[in-house]
Amino acid sequence: MAAASFDIGGVLSVEFVAENLNYARNATKAMIPIREDEVHAVIEYLIGPRHAMDESTCRVLFGLAAKKSSQERGVPPPDCFNYPLFNLLQKTSGSKQQELEGTNSYRVDALLGAARTREEAVEVVLNGILNKLSVLLNVSADQIDIGKSTRSNGVDSLIAIEFRTWLAKEAGTELSLIDVTVGGSINELSQKVGALSRFVQSNVAEGK
């Protein structure tokens, strides 16, 4: 009977990592983290009829970043980069790769699940919003004024749609486009998301 295996880093949205904030912050250093729904997607791919199972495809490595990513994070690159098999990852350093690694290195969903106070949840959301907007607007995070709305910071209607989708998926909060763009300052938006997020434990969201 055919079988497959896959290697992953930290699963940030459930169980131990999701419940331990300090560990979650460190879990992204060695490998790009993975969410529970992504684990399910990998399993569905491996058992699906479209996936031809043979010696070259029966094992999947998920979340191994480019060697440059380890250097930028100040951690030693995995030993596997010493083998010719991983030459491609050693050479990968394009802007798209850096953008993906940057947005994946701070997992708002997992950090919200590990938050122990409302203030901590709001801080997680604010940092996540700043990271996301810096990518969407192609500016550094310190150029974004949290005392102003996203619209005042340069978010147009197209960017607003993508940002709203990100809030729903990564921060666990469904908001209208008006709330996202002109409903208040970024600081106020962070407080609203921190209070409404489905990822925040109920006793934290209720301020207990």
| pLDDT for the residue 77 | 67
| pLDDT for the residue 179 | 94
Please tell me the distance from the alpha carbon of residue 62 to that of residue 42, in angstroms, as a whole number. Answer: 9
Distance between alpha carbon 196 and the CA centroid of its chain, in Å? 19
| pLDDT for the residue 171 | 93
Please list the residues that pair with 111 across neighbouring strands.
none
Please tell me the distance from the alpha carbon of residue 17 to that of residue 110, in angstroms, as a whole number. Answer: 8
59-61 vs 5-7, strand pairing mode:
parallel
Residue 117 Cα distances to 31, 108, 123, 164, 199, angstroms: 28, 15, 10, 24, 13
| pLDDT for the residue 13 | 64
* CB neighbour class for 72 (10 Å; exposed up to 12, middle 13-18, buried from 19): middle
User: Would you tell me how many other CB atoms lie within 10 Å of the CB of residue 188?
Assistant: 14
Q: Going residue by residue through the chain, which has 208 residues, state the pLDDT in tens, using 9 for 90 and above.
A: 677 787 776 676 666 666 665 555 555 555 667 777 778 888 887 787 766 777 777 777 777 666 666 665 556 666 666 667 666 666 554 444 444 444 555 788 888 888 888 999 999 999 999 999 988 888 888 899 999 999 999 998 888 999 999 999 999 999 999 999 998 999 999 999 999 999 888 767 666 5
> For 74, what's the count of Cα atoms within 13 Å in the CB-facing half-sphere?
1
Please tell me the distance from the alpha carbon of residue 94 to that of residue 190, in angstroms, as a whole number. Answer: 31
Please tell me the distance from the alpha carbon of residue 5 to that of residue 3, in angstroms, as a whole number. Answer: 7
Please tell me the distance from the alpha carbon of residue 64 to that of residue 77, in angstroms, as a whole number. Answer: 10
| pLDDT for the residue 95 | 44
DSSP per residue, 4-71: -EEE---BTTSHHHHH-HHHHHHTTTTS--B-HHHHHHHHHHHHSTTS--STTTSEEE--PPPHHHHH
Structural domains in the chain, CATH included, are 5-104 (no CATH), 108-205 (1.10.1200.10)
Phi, psi at residue 163, to the nearest 5°? -65, -40
